[in-house]
């Protein structure tokens, strides 16, 4: 259960990171609200998962999921430049996250 909560909280990390960028310095209401809710859910999930999982592993998985999803969203919807090397590096992050789960 802790792993599932950790993955979901990593997804919420991508939500709040994306909303933070769209809030334009907290000057836009709805992206700011999404940021706040996403941040609370993400941190609560991370804290819950860390009750049973090691801190370093939890944090690395949480950050990896959030980073990959944030960049992927930006490449699809926000004109983030896409390159074969960037996609390969993102797949490398995914492989490292999976490896941490396998080793646990």
Cα dihedral 17, 93, 84, 12, rounded to 10, equals: -20
Tell me, what's the pLDDT at 15? 98
In the chain, where are the structural domains located?
2-103
Percentage with pLDDT > 90 across the chain: 96
Tell me, what's the pLDDT at 7? 97
- Tell me: the pLDDT tens digits for 7-51? 999 999 999 999 999 999 999 999 999 999 999 999 999 999 999
Statement: residue 104 has pLDDT above 90: no
Distances (CA, A) of 14 to 68, 89, 102: 8, 17, 23
pTM of the model: 0.93
């Amino acid at each position: 259960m802790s792993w599932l909560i950790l993955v979901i909280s990593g997804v919420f990390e991508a939500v709040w990171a994306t909303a933070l960028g769209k809030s334009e310095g907290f000057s836009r209401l709805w992206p700011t609200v999404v940021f706040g809710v996403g941040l609370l859910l993400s941190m609560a999930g991370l804290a819950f998962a860390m009750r049973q999982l090691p801190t370093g592993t939890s944090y690395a998985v949480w950050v990896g999921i959030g980073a990959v999803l944030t960049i992927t969203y930006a490449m699809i919807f926000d004109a983030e430049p896409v390159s074969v090397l960037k996609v390969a590096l993102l797949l490398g992050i995914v492989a490292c996250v999976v490896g941490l789960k396998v080793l646990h």
